[in-house]
């Protein structure tokens, strides 16, 4: 018996690989979110730069940033679920209306491109290319841990772009000649 991966009824079926990709996205960014939490409490995670004492608001900021990151990753499930095509009925004024394709495609594309621009220069820093510099670590183990935790977040932008393209392909009108 096949496993139902659906996140709500969609007008057209969502490909299995697209569903898996959307559902895996929060787990792709999770290591980075967990990596940043110790910094909020003054633990430098092996970096050699001394940032000084953390400001009083640092824990709330870092925890909030991690929660926002996870929420945005989970929001991408709208590209593969029914609520990405029709506004849920419980939402006042617009509930039950069809979501215009461009209302999802434009922000998702801009977000995906922004994430690519933000995260994909990181390998250049790892290899010292084009003047990018990586944070210095006290030893190779800390650097390896940082790369393992931060590395997957570089996939976030390309995954969002792939999900957006699949959404576009599924929602476009089919023209018969």
What is the C-alpha separation between 135 and 123, in angstroms, rounded? 12
**pLDDT on residue 18:** 95
**pLDDT on residue 54:** 78
Instruction: Give the angle subtended at the CA of 65 by the CAs of 59 and 66, to the nearest 5°.
Output: 90
pLDDT, tens only, 21-77: 999 999 999 999 999 999 888 888 999 887 777 789 999 999 999 999 999 999 999
Structure tokens at 17: 């690989």
96 SS3 class: coil
**pLDDT on residue 132:** 65
Global pTM value: 0.85
| Nearest Cα to Cα of residue 30 among 56, 77, 1, 69 | 69
């Amino acid at each position: 018996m096949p496993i139902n991966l659906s996140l709500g009824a969609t007008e057209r079926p969502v490909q299995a690989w697209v569903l898996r990709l959307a559902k895996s996205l929060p787990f792709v960014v999770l290591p980075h979110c967990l990596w940043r939490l110790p910094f909020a409490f003054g633990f430098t995670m092996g970096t050699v730069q001394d940032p000084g004492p953390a400001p009083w608001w640092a824990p709330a900021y870092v925890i909030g940033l991690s929660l926002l990151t996870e929420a945005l990753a989970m929001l991408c499930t709208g590209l593969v679920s029914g609520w990405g095509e029709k506004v849920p009925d419980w939402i006042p004024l617009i509930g039950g209306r069809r979501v215009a394709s461009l209302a999802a495609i434009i922000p998702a594309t801009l977000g995906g491109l922004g994430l690519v621009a933000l995260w994909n220069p990181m390998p250049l820093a790892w290899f010292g290319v084009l003047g990018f510099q990586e944070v210095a670590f006290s030893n190779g183990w800390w650097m390896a841990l940082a790369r393992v935790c931060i590395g997957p977040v570089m996939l976030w932008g390309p995954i969002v772009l792939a999900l957006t393209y699949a959404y576009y392909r599924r929602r476009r009108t089919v023209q018969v000649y």
